[in-house]
Amino acid sequence: MKRRRDGLLFAAIFLFGALPLVGEPYTLRLGTFACMYAVMAVSWHVIGGLAGYPSFGTAAFFGLGAYAGGIMLAQGHSLPLAAATAGAIAFGGAMLLGAVLLRLRGHYFAIASLAVAEVLRELTNTATDLTGGGMGLNIPLDTGLAAGMAGIIAEASYFFIAMWALLLVTLVVVVLVERSRLGFGLACIRQNELRARFLGYPVWRLKFAVFVLSTAIAGLSGALFAMAQQSAYPNVMSLHQSGFVVMMVLVGGGLASFWGPLVGAAFFILARDLLGAYTETWLLWYGLVFIAVVLWKPEGLAGIGRSLAARVRRG
């Protein structure tokens, strides 16, 4: 049953890639940011859901990738090279920081990851020659591959396809990880790290591998975000950005379901752009829904969907 459901959801995401054939520029922009937030939420799920290490530093590596990719794009390099560079820099940052952060657990790890994000945000504010400081980094569109592709297909379609492809590849990689020996080891660590050590699991290596994977995904997403926005700015590393990612995962049910981050990201985009068009207090209503879901149904929206489907089958 689970394999059938996963197959249907993958098919739905694959069909979502046909949005440029029917969507308008505004719809494509919504789809682009929905894919971007979904990738960020999945990257958080890798470290928070699979390994049980709640992090508030996802935005730090997302911003690191955005600036790394943005600087490469501003210098005229192609998008694939910029994305690869952003992923490599996020990977390198994870190698350095993971050795320190992963010695902490629980809320200590969460607070330390938040501190890292704030330090990086302040560095981008002060390094004005490289990052543009508080004004941000402007990225002209006529750079590298983007200019050639934008001449073939519409600009909005190009950005959407790039982000959608990253989301699809990320989901495939995470599914393979979750169903591999690495995934079983992470599940054991999440339930009881001390017992996992006694059972002979290489706990440190498993945690380190999943931390690096999570940050690399966030960095790649940041590079594509910088291209879509044609800019990078310090606020992408802020506390509220990391908070949004955590809220997406919890509302969607990412701790109990692999598909929860996608549901949460889609719900966040609907609340921010559609509900935000009617009221400036959309964040208040989103927060109330978040509180209600966490208190009433900790499994999130994905859990609510499974419960309703089970009732329909029984009916």
Tens place of pLDDT for every residue, the chain, 315 residues?
566 666 777 788 888 888 877 777 788 888 888 888 899 888 888 888 888 888 888 888 888 888 888 888 777 777 778 778 888 888 888 888 887 888 887 788 888 888 888 888 888 888 787 787 778 788 766 544 454 444 434 567 778 888 888 899 998 888 888 888 888 888 888 888 888 888 888 888 888 888 888 888 888 888 888 887 878 888 888 878 888 888 888 888 766 677 788 888 888 888 888 788 888 888 888 888 888 888 887 777 877 777 777 777 776
Q: What type of residue sits at position 241?
A: Q
Residue 169 sits at the vertex; the CA angle it makes with 168 and 170, to the nearest 5 degrees, is: 90
Element (H, E) at 80: helix 79-101
Separation between Cα atoms, residue 247 and residue 10, nearest integer Å: 23
In the chain, what are the helix, strand and coil shares in percent, each to the nearest 5?
Answer: 80, 0, 15
Pick the closest to residue 51 from 212, 252, 206 (CA basis). 206
* pTM metric for this prediction: 0.86
Q: How many CA atoms lie within 13 A of 38 on its CB side?
A: 27
Pick the closest to residue 244 from 17, 33, 93 (CA basis). 33
Residue 212 sits at the vertex; the CA angle it makes with 206 and 213, to the nearest 5 degrees, is: 90
